[in-house]
Amino acid sequence: MKSASRVIKNTGFLYGKMVFTIFIALYSTRLILNALGKEDYGVFTLVAGVISMLSFINGAMIIATQRYLSISLGAGDKERTKEVFSASVVLHLIIGVFIVIALEIAGLFIDKLNIPAESLGTAKTIFHFMVISTFFTINAVPYDASINSHENMLFDAIAGVFEATMKLLIAVFLVYHDSNRLILYGLLIASLTILIRVIKSIYCYRKYEEVRVKIKSHINIGLLKEMVSFAGWNLFGLFCTVLKNQGLALLLNLFFGIVVNAAYGVANQVNANIRAFSSNMLKALMPQITKSEGSGDRQRMLRLAVFACKTSFFLLAFFSIPIIVEMPFVMKVWLKTVPENAVVFCQLILLLTMMYQITIGTMAAVTSVGKIKSFQIAVGALEIFNLPLAFMLLKMGLPAYSVFIGSLFMELIASGIRIWFAHKIAGLDIRDFVVNTWLRSIGAAAFTALAAYIISLLLPQGFARAILVGITTTLSIMLLLRFFVLSQFEIGKIREMAIAVYNKLRKKPLPAGTI
């Protein structure tokens, strides 16, 4: 199958999953928040955040495994693919044991968090549930990486829809359950995580040749060391990001109490679901970016990386801008009880994510080449600096949302560093990227936001205004993309991709020259 057709098909599967799951996820959050209450929901968010902060290794390893699998698949080296998978299984078994021990040791200090005394025992029980599910999640990473590297987004979509549906059923069940809701929620979510991981592992074993190999006969010590080194620097970068995110949660907890964590949890839930609109496009493109590097086509890799920056940013902006403008109305409709600070937290975190997405393709380019040590050190140091900056802002008596304004400033600097490293490591043209991608994209988004904001000033709050803001945003982004942001090459590629979909539907062969 041609690459354009494959990208379109996989993107369609991912967006089909997303459209289904996002509404279920948001509605489930509403049910859970009202079933547990603000304090219990804040406890769950805080405990789950601590788990996330200490299990960041999982994210580093899935990037490493997928990168090496995609490179070997792009080069057509089956034996190397088997060696990569075997090495990954061994690594994740060791890492899983290490993480369980580290988490349980960390759990001894959970009473140091600002958690009400009557909820402390429940928090510890939930913590143990999360540790168990984390072990299964870590050991399933090789199988997730195989699914992504083989670009099997149909199964990924089916699994995602199933998981979202089960979470909705759990939320409904909690509404009609009277006692121990928080413990029951933690148990059911952990059980669901284990079930999903087992299903994916069984599927991969039956589907992919490299998964069925005998691990002992395909262990390559040199490759194992190389993957550990690559994953180690990815680990450092992801650790810095997770430390920043969860460190901010802990600082907010220390300065403002557990209720503010409910607002932070709601804001992150909104951000995660909206961000999925842009992340799905990158997920569909990433195997093609890495395989292009593996096959020796650096220019195609860079074109796809820049294209990923634009599409990821504008797919996020398409939904984020109207939601940012109409956030008070959206929160009122979505949640019966809106936690204090939830509106402004959501608005600022979405802006922060938009700023991050505009350079996400440059990170994909650097990762594909594999020379990531200096890149991760530089960007990671900036991520960590968010914490002392946030502490100083809060110590000065500034409001809780000031920490996210500080993060916006730091993200602006980090964007410049990512662009420079993409130039140094992968050969990205800095001037062309800054002028034709970064500045044009930011300018188009700012113009769109201004138009939407003016409408919000002229009309009273309600569904009619929200719909008009959405229509204005859609038309503005489409026109600005066509005449201001996209290059003629990119417009041509989008046209080719549209033709690929049309021909696929009519079962005609794909025209030559697609991406």
CA distance 422 to 428: 6
CB contact at 8 A, 194 and 135: no
For 369-385, write each residue's pLDDT tens digit: 888 888 989 998 888 99
Torsion of CA 459, 460, 465, 469, to 10 degrees: 60
Separation in Å, CA 486 to CA 3, 449, 478: 20, 19, 10
Residue 511 lies in a domain: no
Contacts of 66 (CB under 8 A, 6+ apart): 145, 148, 149, 286, 287, 290
Residue 167 lies in a domain: yes
Q: Which H, E and C letters describe 338-391, residue by residue? A: CCCCHHHHHHHHHHHHHHHHCCHHHHHHHHHHCCCHHHHHHHHHHHHHHHHHHH
Band of pLDDT at residue 218, cut at 50, 70 and 90: low
pLDDT exceeds cutoff 80 at 504: no
Q: For 338-346, what is the mean pLDDT?
A: 84
21 burial type by CB count under 10 A (0-12 exposed, 13-18 middle, 19+ buried): buried
Q: Which of 56-60, 240-244, 360-364, 434-438 has the highest mean pLDDT?
A: 434-438
Residue 164 lies in a domain: yes
Residue 515 lies in a domain: no
What is the three-class DSSP state of 512? coil
For 251-300, write each residue's pLDDT tens digit: 888 888 777 877 887 787 777 767 666 666 666 677 778 888 877 788 88
Q: Which H, E and C letters describe 253-274, residue by residue? A: HHHHCCHHHHHHHHHHHHHHHH
pLDDT exceeds cutoff 80 at 59: no
What is the torsional sign of CA 316, 322, 326, 332? Answer: negative
User: What type of residue sits at position 505?
Assistant: L
User: What type of residue sits at position 89?
Assistant: V
Q: Which of 25-39, 157-171, 447-461 has the highest mean pLDDT?
A: 447-461
Residue 17 lies in a domain: yes
Band of pLDDT at residue 243, cut at 50, 70 and 90: confident
Among residues 20, 37, 113, 71, which one has the least CA distance to residue 367?
A: 71
User: What type of residue sits at position 53?
Assistant: M
| Concatenated DSSP letters of 131-197 | HHHHHHHHHTHHHHHHHHHTT-HHHHHHHHHHHHHHHHHHHHHHHT--S-HHHHHHHHHHHHHHHHH
Name the percent of the chain lying above pLDDT 90. 19
Residue 513 lies in a domain: no
CB contact at 8 A, 189 and 178: no
CB contact at 8 A, 283 and 65: no
Average pLDDT, the chain: 80
DSSP 235: H
What is the torsional sign of CA 437, 482, 312, 308? Answer: negative
For 179-213, write each residue's pLDDT tens digit: 777 778 778 888 888 898 889 888 988 888 777 76
What is the three-class DSSP state of 41? helix
CA distance 232 to 369: 16
Structure-token pair, residue 51: 């788990």
Residue 131 lies in a domain: yes
Separation in Å, CA 446 to CA 129, 147, 361, 368, 515: 44, 37, 21, 31, 30
Domain assignment of residue 154, given as a range: 3-506
The total number of structural domains in the chain stands at 1
Structure-token pair, residue 99: 């993480």
pLDDT exceeds cutoff 90 at 443: yes
**How many CB atoms are located within 10 Å of the residue 235 CB?**
21
